Amino acid sequence: MALICLNQNIFAQGCVAVRGVGGPSCGIMTHGNHYDTSGLTLSVNTRYFNSFRHFVGTVEQKQRMELGTQVINHTYSMDLGLTKILNKKWSMSVYVPIIANTRSSLYEHGGTARYSTKSFGLGDVRIAGYLWLTDPAKLTNLKIQAGLGIKLATGDYKYTDRFFTATGTTNKGPVDQSIQLGDGGTGFTTELNVYYTVSPKINVYGNAYYLINPREQNGVSTARGATPTAASISYTSDVMSVPDQYLLRGGMNYQVNNWTFSGGLRFECIPVNDLIGGSEGFRRPGKILTAEPGITYMFKKMNVYAYLPVSINRDRTQSVPDKIRTKLTGVYAQGDAAFADYLINIGCSIKL
């Protein structure tokens, strides 16, 4: 049967800037006992979402929509991936994201009228190597693959646009962190992909992914072209942070001829504190749990797929600047973030 293609994109889902630096981790195409280790695999993954529901912690701020003050992000991205199978154990992949974002709000434009800011261009490129920890040439039920990569700071993390003020003038400044094309840090990625065959038609999968960003802050102002306030400087929220991020994913596939029907859960997170380096600077840490149904159709040298992750739980956690503000003022502070209800993920992989 199988093309082991564990679709492992990290999805941005709103103001919590979980960036698209992943890509399909494609294993070796097998036909009986033969493993095809020649050529290249091209993957093209597109995704779209619209975030507009605000949360503080797990509590939705429904008044934002009632008052019309919600932030609305539209995000479209296309990830191009190229995978080379080196031998039965090793493979190498390169992932190149192209991103287009639009963000509309009132509070960023003087609070009297809704205007939009945009960003478009290359995101952060990732290069990764993968190793089968189990022998893929043996027809065993369990297959385990580990990956290690580097994320390059190729995306423009200082992207600017025009912001209106209450007086009608405009300032040019960096756009919000959630629609920046990159985070400004060189990071390192670790992955673990597990695939277990239960029966000829049923298999289960699991993915784990962690991006380590040692850089604490990228120096980009959050003041949208204005002068940072003394308060924001004291809280360290006057400049953008370079956060870690991670993904946990698991589920089951059911195969009928060339069709594969999938169902599972995925958990994505921007943590409050990074594994390496400091955690100060502006970030919207948060957690997103989604149900992830999907369908795949396999041709001889290509498969096409569609997934629709649907939000189950959204949680905007308290950031380090929130904690500093709470300590300095004596008043508990916790910012909000806008999340999407669902995400549309469509793509294909082609054996070249």
Quote the DSSP letter at residue 243: -
Give the separation between CA 29 and CA 38, rounded to whole angstroms. 10
Tokens for 12, please give them: 């941005």
Per-residue model confidence (pLDDT) at position 18: 57
Per-residue model confidence (pLDDT) at position 74: 96
Mean pLDDT of 39-43: 89
pLDDT tops 60 at residue 160: yes
Sign of the alpha-carbon torsion through 46, 297, 311, 191: negative
Per-residue model confidence (pLDDT) at position 166: 87
Mean pLDDT of 254-283: 95
Per-residue model confidence (pLDDT) at position 123: 96
Per-residue model confidence (pLDDT) at position 38: 60
Per-residue model confidence (pLDDT) at position 34: 39
From the centroid of its chain, how far is CA 102? Answer: 17
Per-residue model confidence (pLDDT) at position 250: 96
Tell me the pLDDT band of 29, cut-offs 50, 70 and 90.
Answer: very low
Report how many domains make up the chain: 1
Mean pLDDT of 338-347: 95
Per-residue model confidence (pLDDT) at position 11: 52
Give the separation between CA 238 and CA 278, rounded to whole angstroms. 15
- Tens-digit pLDDT profile for residues 121-154: 999 999 999 999 998 777 689 999 999 999 999 9
* 0.85 exceeded by pTM: yes
Per-residue model confidence (pLDDT) at position 227: 94
Mean pLDDT of 158-174: 94
Cβ neighbours, 10 Å, residue 69: 15
Per-residue model confidence (pLDDT) at position 49: 94
On whether the CB atoms of residues 309 and 345 are closer than 8 A, the answer is yes
Q: What is the CATH number of the domain that holds 235?
A: 2.40.160.40
pLDDT tops 90 at residue 323: yes
Residue with tokens 């019309």: 68
- Tens-digit pLDDT profile for residues 234-256: 999 999 999 999 999 999 999 99
Mean pLDDT of 304-327: 96
Tokens for 51, please give them: 């975030």
Per-residue model confidence (pLDDT) at position 52: 95
200 versus 9: the higher-pLDDT residue is: 200
Domain with 337 in it: 3-351
Q: Which helix (H) or strand (E) holds 235?
A: helix 230-235
State the Cα torsion 294-191-290-296 to the nearest 10°.
0
Helices (H), the chain: 63-67, 230-235, 320-329
- Tens-digit pLDDT profile for residues 58-97: 999 999 999 999 999 999 999 999 999 998 899 999 999 9
- Tens-digit pLDDT profile for residues 188-223: 999 999 999 999 999 999 999 999 999 999 999 999
Per-residue model confidence (pLDDT) at position 5: 44
Nearest of 44, 43, 108 to residue 71 by alpha carbon: 108
Q: How many CA atoms lie within 13 A of 106 on its CB side?
A: 10
Give the separation between CA 19 and CA 211, rounded to whole angstroms. 10
Burial bucket for residue 199 (CB in 10 Å: 0-12, 13-18, 19+) = exposed
Per-residue model confidence (pLDDT) at position 322: 97
pLDDT tops 80 at residue 33: no
On whether the CB atoms of residues 309 and 294 are closer than 8 A, the answer is no
Q: Which residues, at least 6 apart from 63, have a Cβ–Cβ distance to it below 8 Å? A: none
